[in-house]
Amino acid sequence: MSADSFKKLMSIIALGLGALIAFAIVAELPVWVPLLAVTLALAAANIFRRGVKEVLADERSRRVDEKATVLTYRVFTTVTAVGVLLAMMLRSSLPEWTFIAGQAVAFALCALMLLHLAVIRYYSGKL
C-alpha cells in the first residue's frame, strides 16, 4: 500500500469513527459502542500502517510535530488556566455549575501538567 492510499484510508476511518461516535451520542447508545469502535479503528490503523512500504515520517516531520505539540500544549494550558481563573473570579455573577466546572477543569489541567512533568523526567533519563 502506498503512503497516499494509507492517508486516504485513515481519513475515511476517522470520518466514519466521528460519525459513529456522534450517532452513538445522539441515539444514546451504550458507552461500549464508541469504545469498541475506537479500539477497532486503532487496530485497523496499526494493521494498515504495517502494510505501507514507503517512509511515513522522516526526521524533519518528527521535529515539526514536536514543535507543534509543544506550542499546542503551551497555548492550551495558558488559555485554559485564564478561563478557569475568570470562571472562579466571576463565580458570584455566574451560575453555580460554572464554578464546579471550573474546578473540574482546573484539576484536569493540574493533572495534565503533572503528567507532562513526569514524561519530561522519564525522557530526560532515557535520551
**Each residue of 20-54: pLDDT tens digit?**
999 998 999 898 999 999 999 999 999 988 888 77
Mean pLDDT computed over every residue of the chain: 88
Number of domains observed in the structure of the chain:
2
Domain identity same for 75 and 92: yes
Domain identity same for 114 and 65: yes
Domain identity same for 98 and 70: yes
| pLDDT given for residue 111 in this prediction | 92
Residue-range definition of the domain harbouring residue 11? 3-50
Domain identity same for 37 and 63: no
Total count of residues recorded for the chain: 127
Domain identity same for 65 and 114: yes
Q: pLDDT tens digits for 85-110?
A: 888 888 888 888 888 888 899 999 99
Please report how many Cα atoms fall inside a 13 Å half-sphere around the Cα of residue 63, on the Cβ side. 3
pLDDT band at 4 (very low <50, low <70, confident <90, very high): confident
